[in-house]
Every structure is written in C-alpha cells, then in structure tokens.
Amino acid sequence: MNAPAHTVEAGAFRSVLGHFCTGVTVVTGMDGQQPAGFACQSFAALSLDPPLVLFCPARASRSWQAIGRGGRFCVNVLTAEQRDVSQVFGTGGTDKFAGLGWSSSPGGCPVLDDVLTWVDCGIADVFDGGDHRVVLGRVTELGPVRDEVPLLFYRSKYTATDPNAETRPAAWLEELLSWPRESF
C-alpha cells in the first residue's frame, strides 16, 4: 500500500520549526585566495569517534559553492555580542569580509575575531537534502573557548541565554548525554 502524500504548508513549516532554538555560527572557507562564509544555524555535532560535525547549506548558496571548492571549512560559533556579524554573513551579494578582522585557522580557513570558539574541518561527505545539502566535516582542530555567552536564534529573532544560569549539567543528566564529560 502506498503511503498517503502529505502536504505541508510553508508558513506552518517555518513557524513550527522556528520554535526549535539554535545557536548561530558562520561557516567559512577559502576559494583560492578568496575568503567565503555564511551565517548558519543548521550546525550540529555528529560523532565523537571519529570526530564529525555537520551543517546544511542551501543548494543555491554561493558561499557554500566557494567553500565546497576549497574542500575545508571552519565553523565560527558567535557570541551574543555578534548579532551584526550574523546579519552581515546572513546577507548574500555583499563583500561579507569588508572591514572585518579575521585570521587563518590551522587548516587555512577564516577564524573571525572575537568568536566564542571554532571548529576546523575537512569536508568528509556531502549528501542531498532536498533544497539543501548535508555536509559532513571531519574535525581536524578545535579552537579555544572564550568565557562569553552564545548567540541564539529563536522564532526568527536573536536571543541569548541567561549568563547567570547554572551551566554545569547535574550528575543524573550527565548520564543521559551521548558523550558524558568523562569521555573528554
């Protein structure tokens, strides 16, 4: 028996999925001598052994095409003070790196000034994901972590965590995590 065809209204899809709160990153790479990057909320840790992460760029993203040609990428995790950086890297058709400070990661990709932390990767695989791609990265280097609050994106707006909230997971919660603290 064939499964019934389900139709999902685009506005409802955006609204419901917009209730899933994420952090905000800028995924960067080098296309020859040219830096490329775009704001990206679809970033996740995937595997500890081997160390893999993933992100999902739109098929039409010019920045993704440039990063793909370079074969490597760096995930820059933004702080709550970097909403303007997210806006710049979330807008196509501009020189996103104009007037912005950055340095090179060990893998040669841009690390933006003042980010919370960064994850340097080689592209391990690329899968089809409808109007997006799913890009798997093999982690090669990890950046230092600054003592700052992360930038969050929720219901199409920027927000941030309470800096005074308890951040150490309770012992019972730690047992439920895929990679408990002891495994680091």
Question: Given the rule CB under 6 A, which residues bind ligand FMN?
Answer: 24, 38-42, 56-58, 61-64, 86, 89-92, 153
Closer residue to ligand FMN (CB): 79 or 86: 86
* Number of residue whose CB is nearest ligand FMN: 90
Closer residue to ligand FMN (CB): 127 or 179: 127
Dig out the tokens for 72 from the structure: 């490597």
Output the smallest distance, CB 157 to ligand FMN, in A: 10
Output the smallest distance, CB 153 to ligand FMN, in A: 4
Output the smallest distance, CB 99 to ligand FMN, in A: 17
Closer residue to ligand FMN (CB): 24 or 111: 24
Output the smallest distance, CB 114 to ligand FMN, in A: 17
Block residue for tokens 């919370």: 116
Q: 113 φ, ψ to 5°?
A: -60, 145
Dig out the tokens for 107 from the structure: 């893998």
Distances in Å between the alpha carbon of 145 and those of 1, 21, 31, 118, 164?
A: 52, 21, 27, 8, 18
Closer residue to ligand FMN (CB): 23 or 51: 23
Output the smallest distance, CB 73 to ligand FMN, in A: 13
Exposed, middle or buried: residue 24 (CB in 10 Å: 0-12, 13-18, 19+)? buried
Output the smallest distance, CB 147 to ligand FMN, in A: 23
DSSP states of 72-94: EEEEEEPBTT-HHHHHHHTSSSS
Closer residue to ligand FMN (CB): 59 or 181: 59
Q: Across the strands, what pairs with 36?
A: 29
Please report, in angstroms and rounded to a whole number, the separation of the first and last CA atoms in the chain: 48
Block residue for tokens 């020859």: 32
Closer residue to ligand FMN (CB): 57 or 143: 57
